[in-house]
Amino acid sequence: MATRYIIALVVLLAVIVGLQMSGVFRFAGNIYREWSLKNVERGDVKALKWSREYLDSDEIQIRAAAASSIGRIGQADQATLTDLIKKVENDVARVASSAAWSLGHIELMEPEGNRTAYQSEVVAALIRGLSHQDKKVRRSAAYALSNYGMRGIDASPAIPALVAKLKDKGVGYMATRALGEMGARESSADIAVLLEGENETYQYEAGVALAKLQPLPEEIQAQLDRLLKAHDDIRRAVEIEVPDYQTAGTKQPVKK
């Protein structure tokens, strides 16, 4: 009896070794990974466990996909939130950028979690992200702060850092958008400088942002009005994004 068990075990081990050498296990593993990755990339909340798992992948593109998927899912527990913050600060630029983007979209899953505390933690991480050496990470951090502003979440500690990035090439336009979404009226003079530049993207974002920061000082309001008269596309964008702009613009301007 014992001899038969030993023979069966030897045969089983031989089969396993043969399958391993033939690449069957690797092939099956790749199929599983591709299947789970598709669920991750779709932002399926059921795939959150895989997103966490793939954050530690040896492959950069897998970690980046996992980081961005958490934002699409829109939910994360405290541990996942902490992992994303670490990715912004310590991973390569591609992954850090995806993680920063996600931080602007997630809600804490735990009902007993302190939302004010986690939001402050995210804002602090995004402020650090604005100083990242890679432009894409800085831009993603500014975008995430813009999304916080759209959601009505207090991100005011980031205002000085965003103002400092207004002239950051490739990032300043997103910093401008974030300041507009956050209602940072104290930044209006800094944003107004971009109205006179030659970069149309920056002019566009500055015009829309200032339209959201009503009422404006008289001279800045005049600058904005001149821009809107000269650029139909910016005026149309303001009409869409700030439907009450005409009403707001006719209010008594703030005096310096």
Q: Are 151 and 222 found together in one domain?
A: no
Q: What is the pTM of this model?
A: 0.79
Q: Are 92 and 150 found together in one domain?
A: yes
The pLDDT assigned to 248 comes to 46
Residue 176 placed within a domain: no
Tens-digit pLDDT profile for residues 189-241: 999 999 887 788 899 999 999 999 989 999 999 999 998 998 888 889 888 88
Instruction: Look at the chain and report how many structural domains it folds into.
Output: 2
CA distance 162 to 158: 6
The pLDDT assigned to 79 comes to 87
The pLDDT assigned to 250 comes to 43
Tens-digit pLDDT profile for residues 63-88: 898 898 888 888 888 888 999 999 99
Q: Are 67 and 109 found together in one domain?
A: yes
Q: Are 196 and 137 found together in one domain?
A: no
Report the share of the chain in percent with pLDDT over 90. 45
What is the average pLDDT across 10-32? 49
Q: Are 51 and 160 found together in one domain?
A: yes
Residue 125 placed within a domain: yes
Residue 18 placed within a domain: no
The pLDDT assigned to 164 comes to 96
Domain of residue 111, CATH code: 1.25.10.10
Q: Are 51 and 144 found together in one domain?
A: yes
CA distance 10 to 21: 16
Q: Which whole-number Å values give the CA distances from 29 to 46, 51, 52, 239, in the listed order?
A: 20, 16, 18, 53
Residue 245: which pLDDT band, with cuts at 50, 70 and 90? confident
Q: Are 112 and 195 found together in one domain?
A: no
- Count CA within 13 A, CB hemisphere, residue 242: 22
- DSSP label of 108: E
CA distance 203 to 53: 42
Q: What are the residues facing 108 on neighbouring strands?
A: 76
Burial 192-220 (b: 16+ CB within 10 A, else e): bebbeeeeeebbbbbbbbbbbbbbbbeeb
Residue 207 placed within a domain: yes
Q: Are 146 and 65 found together in one domain?
A: yes
Q: Are 158 and 232 found together in one domain?
A: no
- Out of 165, 198, 233, a domain closes at 165
Q: What are phi and psi of 148, to 5 degrees?
A: -60, -40
The domain of 240 spans 184-256
| Crossing angle (nearest 10°) for helices 135-150 and 172-182 | 20
- Out of 131, 165, 199, a domain closes at 165
The pLDDT assigned to 218 comes to 92
Residue 20 placed within a domain: no
